Chain A
C-alpha cells in the first residue's frame, strides 16, 4: 500500500497553515507518531485555529479517526462540522457501521453513534446493526450499553417487542453469556411494562420456568443462578419458594429420585456435574433465612462448600459460618 499523499503536498490544502504540536524538552510518555499522523494532526490543529467547517474537514477528521479512533477532539469537531454544513447524517451512520466493527472497543465510536441517533431518531435499524456486531463479540460492554440506552431513551413498544427473542438467540448460542442474562432482566423487570407483558403474575411465572429450565440443562452456570436470585428478590419472594426445585441440584447424581416430569421443577439433565455448588449455596441461604435450628443446617452446607465443593473460596464460607453462628447467638 502506498502512503497517502501528505496534506503538505496537496494543492487543495495549501491555504491551510499547519500547526505543529508543541512539546517541551523532556515530555512524559511521548508517542513516536508516524509521519502520516503528524501531518494529518498538524493540519487539524491548523483547521481548528481558523474554525473552518467544511467537506474537507470531514475527510481530514475521518483520516485522523482511522489512525486513532480514541482522538476525542477529532470526533467532537467532526460532529460539529456535520451539523454546521448540514451533512447527511444517515450517510455518516453508514460510514460508522464500518468503523464500529473495526474499532468495537473504542468508546468514541459508540458515543458518536449516540449523538447521530439523537438527530436521526431511527432506533429500530440500530438494533439490527447491533445484533450484527454481536457476531463479532457478544459481550462487548460498549455495544450492550448503547443498546440499553437506545431502548430506554426511545422507549417504544415496537422496539421492545423483539428483545426477548433476541436474548434467547444469544443465550441459545452461549448459555453463559451474562450480558444477555443481564439484558433479559433489564428488559423484563427494569424498563416498565411492555406490550403483552401486562399480566405480571404470568410474566413472573414464565421467567421462573425459563431460568429453571436453563439451570436444568446446565446447572453450573453462575449467570442463571444470579438471575433466579434477582427475580425472587425483585418481587420480595423468599428463596424458599423454590426449595423443591433447588434441592435435587444439591445432591449427587446417584441420589436423584425424581421420576415424574414436573414442569415447575425440572430435574437436572443426565450427565450434569452434581452436586452443584451454586445450588448448595442457594440452599444454605434458604436455611439461613429460616433461622433457628435451620442455621446449623446452613453451616453444614457452607462447610461442605469450603471443604469440598468450592475450596477456592474457603475463607468466604468460613466467614458465612461465623456470621451465621453469631446470628443465632444474639
Chain B
C-alpha cells in the first residue's frame, strides 16, 4: 500500500497507449465464428460466451458495422432455438449441447436439457443487443421458471432442482424480474436475506454464507439490492461505508483491481469492484486513469484483453474490461494521442449493458398490463 511517491506520480501520468478497438472486435468476432476444441469446457455455457462477444461489439458500437444483417437475423434465430418449455416453465438453455434434433412445436424439455437461469439472463441481453422485438418471449413461462429455481433459503439454482446455487443465480433472477417489470416470480425478501447471509466481516460478500469476500459476488449483491423492489436500502449507512472502504482498497498501485484482499490484480475485477463502487454512488473514488493504464497493459497484441499482462485474452475479460471503461472512461491529457480510442457510451451498471441496449431490453421485455 505504501510506496515511493515519485513512482506513483509517474504512474498517474503514465503514457496511455491507444485502445486497440478494431483488434478487440476482431478477437470476439473470431470467437463468435468458432472456438477451438481446447475450450470445450465452454460447451455448457455458450450463451454466456455469445453475450460477452456480442456485448463487446455493442460497447464498441460495432454491431451494425461488423455483423451483417443476415448474421444478426440468423443469430437471433439461434438464440430463440434455445428457448425451451416444460414442467418448470420456460427459459433458455446454454446451447443445443444436449439436443438431438430441432425443437418441434410444442416440444417439452427433459430433466437433462432444462433451461438455465444464467443463460436466460445472457440470452435476454444478447437478444436486446441484436435489437430483437421479443415477441416470441414466453414471459409467463419465465416467471414460473424463476419460481421453480428459488430455494428455501432464498437463493436460486442454476436449473430447477439442482443444488448448484450461489449469488450469481440470484442476480440473474433479479435482472430478469426487473426486465419483465414483474416480481411475482421471486420471493424478494427471502432473496435479500440470503444476500445478507453472504456478507463477510471485511465488508464484501462471499459466494454463499460463510465464504470469503470476493469482488464478483460483492458486485452481484450490490446490484441485486439496488434492483430489488423495496423502497429503502436494507443496508445501514455504516455497512455501506464499510463496503466502500473494502472495495476502494482493492485497487492496486498498478491501477488494476484484485478480487480479494492480498490477491493479484485481474482485469475482470476492474468491472466487478469498480462497478460495485459505482452502484454505491462512490464511483468518483476510483482512479480511472490508472485503471485504463492497467487495462491497456492487458491488451493482447493480436486483439482481445486478458486477465493480466502477458496472459491470453478471452471474451469474458475483454467484455468486462470494456464494460469497466464504459463506466470509468479515463481523464485524457493533451499529450494523449489516439484519445478517441478511449471514448465509450455509458453503461447501465445494474444490468450490465450499454444504456441504450438496457433501455431497449426494458421497453421490449416488460410485461404490459
Contact = CB atoms under 8 A, between A and B. Distances in A.
A136 interface: no
A25 to B, nearest CB: 7
Interface in B31-69: 31-32, 34-37, 39-47, 49-50, 53
A311 B285 contact: no
Contacts, number: 208
A23 B46 CA distance: 13
A313 B32 CA distance: 39
A71 B43 CA distance: 7
A327 to B, nearest CB: 12
Interface residue range, chain B: 35 or more
Interface stretch (A143-151, A161-169, A202-210): A143-151
Given A29-B50, A70-B45, A185 B163 contact: no
A30 B34 contact: yes
Contact of B287 (A27, A76, A313): A313
Contacts of B99: 21-22
A1 B158 CA distance: 37
Interface string A78-111: 0000000000000000000000000000111001
Contacts of A278: 1
B5 interface: yes
A135 to B, nearest CB: 19
B262 A70 contact: no
B302 interface: no
Given A49-B100, A141-B207, A310 B2 contact: yes
Nearest to B76: A28
Interface of B: 1-3, 5, 8-9, 11-12, 31-32, 34-37, 39-47, 49-50, 53, 71, 74-75, 77-79, 81, 95-102, 110, 112-113, 158-159, 162-164, 200-202, 206-214, 246, 248-249, 251-253, 255, 260-263, 282, 284-287, 290
Given A149-B208, A311-B3, 4 more contacts: A28-B75, A32-B36, A309-B1, A315-B284
Interface of A: 19-34, 37, 41, 45, 48-49, 67-73, 76-77, 106-108, 111, 114-115, 139, 141, 144-145, 148-149, 152, 176-179, 181-183, 185-186, 189-191, 220-223, 226, 229-230, 233-234, 273, 275-278, 307-316, 319
